[in-house]
Every structure is written in C-alpha cells, then in structure tokens.
Amino acid sequence: MLRIGVLVSGGGTNLQALMDYMELHQVKAEIVTVVSNRKNAYALARAEVKSIPTQVISPRDFSESYAFNEALMNHFNQYKVNLVVMAGYLVVIGDPFVSAYKNKIINIHPSLIPAFCGDGYYGLKVHEAALKKGVKLTGATVHFVDEGTDTGPIIMQKAVEVRNSDTPKSIQERVMTEAEWVILPKVVEKIANNKIRVEDNQVIVD
C-alpha cells in the first residue's frame, strides 16, 4: 500500500480532489499525513474532516534551513511515507530532503512546463505571465521534484484553452478544474499501481 504524505500551504483544493478521487476509485494508497507551513491553511481542515493526521512545520520556526528539512524528513519517516505530494506547497524544500526521497516527490504546477515555471512563477503570477505572452494554450504539469525549481522529470500534462475574455483569475480556476484536479489524482493512482518509473531522467508511463 502506497503511503502518501501531502505538503500544502493554502486552501487545499488539489488535496480535496485527490482525496475524493482516491475514495471514489478505491486507489491502492492512503494519505497518512498532511503537513502545512501555515497553521491557518484551510487544507488542514479538509484533512481533518477525513480523519487524516495533520502537522504544521514552518521554516520560520527554525533558525537554519537544514533543521527545517530535517524536521520534515523525520515527520515523514515517522509515518513511513513513500510518496510525497506537493499540492500547492509554496516552500522550497532543500536538497537533503529531495535526495532522501529521490523520484518519490511529485509536484503539481499550473502551466505547461517548461513555460512559465521556475523561480517567481506561482499562483496568479503564472497566469498573468501567460496572458501577457498571449499564449493560446496553457494547462498544468505533474512532475517529479529534483534539486531545481520545476525542473524535475515531467510525468503528465493537460492543456487548457485560453479564451479572449480570460483574466488571470478565470484561467486559474479553469486550469484547476480542467487540468490540476484531473491529472494529479491520475498520477498518484498510476504510481500506486507501479505504472510509472524513471529511466535516464525520463518518465515512463505504462
């Protein structure tokens, strides 16, 4: 059974989509802990409704980044987590954590990587940049996390059409509902069924 730890920072809509999908499709996995860097993140309340243990671990509570990453690792080790899902997590995790969970951390990003990704591209900033560039398609990407920012191997993408009437907020909402909430649960299901592997830094999906 795949044991999942989810990292969140905000409202937790991706977490909710994942929990709903796993329950509906009886995915061979269990979310065993949800961790946030913000004590008032609504995502924690979503987890508590499902009786999932929650924890707040914030980098602000540590004087050194290595201590923060060590606390995260210790927490996930305690829960025997073998897949970490970053679902709207706005903290950059350190190399020691990434190395400890190599090819076992996935992230959902609201663009078609390599477009509009990397440092500074998060939340509405991604969609503002897409509108400014005048792209006709945007979307979402699930990728493995490596030591860079949004640079890990791509697992799955889904495109969303950009309309002439769109605002950053309307694109954000449609990317979530049409792409993020669709592909993140599917990737988790495939990992749970051993349908995803990494070879030479490329993702093979069976």
- Taking only the tens place, the pLDDT of each residue in 59-85 is 999 999 999 999 999 999 999 999 999
pLDDT at position 195:
97
Q: Is the pLDDT of residue 43 over 90?
A: yes
Residue positions annotated with a catalytic role:
109
The mean pLDDT value for 22-45 works out to: 97
Across the range 26-44, mean pLDDT stands at 97
Q: What is the chain's length?
A: 206
CATH class assigned to 2-196: alpha beta
User: Is the confidence at residue 201, as pLDDT, over 90?
Assistant: no
Return the SS3 of 98: helix
For residue 205, give the nearest of 179, 178, 187, 183 by alpha carbon: 187
